Structure 1
Amino acid sequence: MHTISIFVDKNRMPKPASYFECQTHLAKNLRNAANFIIRNLRTGLKKAPDTRTANENEVLETVRIGIEMANEKLLKDVNRLTKQLKNLPANDPARTKIQKRIENKQKNHPSMPTSDHWMLTYETLDAVMKNTKNPDYYAMPSQVNQQVLRKVLKDWKSYFEALTAYRQNPERFKSQPKQPGYIKTPYTTVTFTNQVAKRSDIRGKMYITFPRCLVPVCVGKSEGSYVRTEVKPCYGGYMIYVIFQDAVKTPEAPKNPTRILGLDPGLDNFLTALTNFPSAPFILDGHWLKSINQNFNRKRAV
């Protein structure tokens, strides 16, 4: 894997910047909406019905409706596939494919969470958002909204892992890990897979075209298979990270290396390098870089 980063300035590239501003804001809204559902499920399912808050009752009803609608659609699909299966000859090779589809649908049907198993799977959370016509979900392009939900569930998975580690060795933590909270900033990172953000090569340069955006973004030249694009809000614009799968595998490091290069980052000097083989050590001056950074920080603080 390797990554190319491009800065999209709000003043120099107003149309792509406006698009990214919209998508990163919508991603924030959807992440908060998903966290709202999960957090209220966690608390609401552990209470008696008459002690639940209005938010908890609203979420439980929304999840119930979403799951029921998803299972109704799934049952119709299973019945339709079962009829197709019955109409096929016994030796038809298509029977195996249809049978697997039926088994997968029956296996992955969403179920109502309980007080002991309140955490939603990705499939269930996505089904709830789809079937209840969640406005934050449908405000984003297809698959982009699904990546947002996956990020939310990934955060919760990390929280559970940290909580388990805390219970086993609390002395390694300053405090108990906190559950994922709501994003208070207006924007957050959004991910576009290669299925929705398309690559095109024009005159030796690579462009990425995003869904619902008419202006493609030039990312220069790159080798390898395009995987995804991540857009992160930053001061004055947006950082675009384009991730590629390398065509050539990186060679493994030798178990017993004989040629070693030591790199020491410094405060004034950018880098000092020294080897264990006949080669002159060298220093990369960092004063000019430090001066540029100080000037940038000074302008940003004004």
Structure 2
Amino acid sequence: MIILFGCQQVLIHTDRDTQAIIEYICSESNKVFNCAVYYARQVYFKAHRYATKAELDQELKRNRHFQAMYSQAAQQTCHSVFESFKSFKALNKLFRKGELEAQPRPPKYRKGGLNVVTYPKQALKLINGNIRIPLGSKVKTWFGIDSFTIPMPNNLNFKEIRELRILPRNQCFWAEFVYKLDVVETKLNPNNALGVDPGMDNWLTCVSTTGTSFIVDGKHIKSLNRWYNKKSFHAQRWQASRILV
């Protein structure tokens, strides 16, 4: 049985307090990631083996940055390190067989100050059209806050959501919703084809072998692209000014 998943990103608009909370957990996720990488690298270089997923969870759960996050979110960060080393292991195997020209290197530490935070569906609750996202018990003890909320997109069904990721990008935070897709079975005629000619104002000019044709307007997409580049430019300048100060 084939299971398909979709992904939708939504820019998070919220108050300063919630923005500070989101920045805090992304910062802690970055520190957990680097701590997990440090442990996995020590195991690889000194014990000459690869750290297991359970081993990373067991070792990092005593870490104060791990404890500052919601436990399942912190585990997801550790598991991302495990997956990186799993890929490294597979590449190493190919290199030793002579099937890979360049020798792979172990995963490195993150240099950025913020990292993605991932919450499984079971950690989330829908309350009055908002998704309640839990925080770690340590955060509740330190700051008296146990959760924060973000709006639930109107076009998605909360029951279909499998995962929620908080993504830091260009001085903004995005909510990435991973949801289950219904499989649509289609019957294709291999004798039919569609010719596509990409352009600028006319983004796509399409003609099919059945005699039909259509044009996808590119002016709106160009406008969105200019807006994105402008925002990205100002965000980079702002970041550069912070570094210079």
8 Å contact from structure 2 (residues 116, 166) kept in 1:
yes
Structure 2 residue aligned with 1:301:
233
How far residue 146 of structure 1 moved from its aligned partner, in angstroms, is 0.8
Structure 1 residue aligned with 2:179:
244
Amino acid at match of 1:216: I
Secondary structure in structure 1 of the residue aligned to 2:12: strand
How far residue 188 of structure 1 moved from its aligned partner, in angstroms, is 1.3
Computing the radius of gyration over CA atoms, which structure comes out larger, 1 or 2?
1
Q: Trace 1:68-147 onto structure 2 (pairs within 5 A).
A: 115=48, 118-130=49-61, 133-147=62-76
8 Å contact from structure 1 (residues 207, 218) kept in 2:
yes
8 Å contact from structure 1 (residues 209, 217) kept in 2:
no
Which of 104, 123, 129 is the aligned partner of 1:177?
Answer: 104
Which of 17, 39, 42 is the aligned partner of 2:41?
Answer: 39
Q: Distance in 2 between matches of 1:7 and 1:33?
A: 29
CA pair 24-263 structure 1, distance change in 2 beyond 3 A: farther
Aligned-pair identity in percent equals 24
Which of 164, 173, 181 is the aligned partner of 1:229?
Answer: 164
CA pair 31-209 structure 1, distance change in 2 beyond 3 A: same
CA pair 264-160 structure 1, distance change in 2 beyond 3 A: farther
Normalising by structure 2, we get a TM-score of 0.77
Amino acid at match of 1:20: I
Q: Distance in 2 between matches of 1:258 and 1:20?
A: 52
Q: Distance in 2 between matches of 1:3 and 1:269?
A: 27
Secondary structure in structure 2 of the residue aligned to 1:243: strand
* RMSD (CA atoms): 2.4
Q: Distance in 2 between matches of 1:128 and 1:232?
A: 26
Q: Distance in 2 between matches of 1:231 and 1:276?
A: 44
8 Å contact from structure 1 (residues 27, 189) kept in 2:
yes
Which of 134, 146, 164 is the aligned partner of 1:211?
Answer: 134
Structure having the larger proportion of residues in strand:
2
Structure 2 residue aligned with 1:71:
none
Equivalent pairs counted in the alignment come to: 217
CA pair 300-128 structure 1, distance change in 2 beyond 3 A: closer
Structure 2 residue aligned with 1:165:
94
Secondary structure in structure 1 of the residue aligned to 2:202: coil
Q: Distance in 2 between matches of 1:267 and 1:166?
A: 43
8 Å contact from structure 1 (residues 261, 275) kept in 2:
yes
Is 1:271 paired with 2:204?
A: yes
How far residue 36 of structure 1 moved from its aligned partner, in angstroms, is 0.6
Secondary structure in structure 1 of the residue aligned to 2:134: coil
Amino acid at match of 1:170: L
Secondary structure in structure 2 of the residue aligned to 1:241: strand
Normalising by structure 1, we get a TM-score of 0.64
Amino acid at match of 1:157: K
Q: Trace 1:26-65 onto structure 2 (pairs within 5 A).
A: 26-45=28-47
Q: Distance in 2 between matches of 1:21 and 1:256?
A: 51
Structure 2 residue aligned with 1:19:
21
Structure 2 residue aligned with 1:194:
121
- Please list the CA deviations of residues 154-204 of structure 1 after superposition, one character each: whole Å capped at 9, or x if unmatched: 011111122223443234xxx33221000000111111001112234x4xx
Amino acid at match of 2:123: V
Q: Distance in 2 between matches of 1:264 and 1:176?
A: 41
Structure 1 residues not aligned, in runs of 5+:
46-114
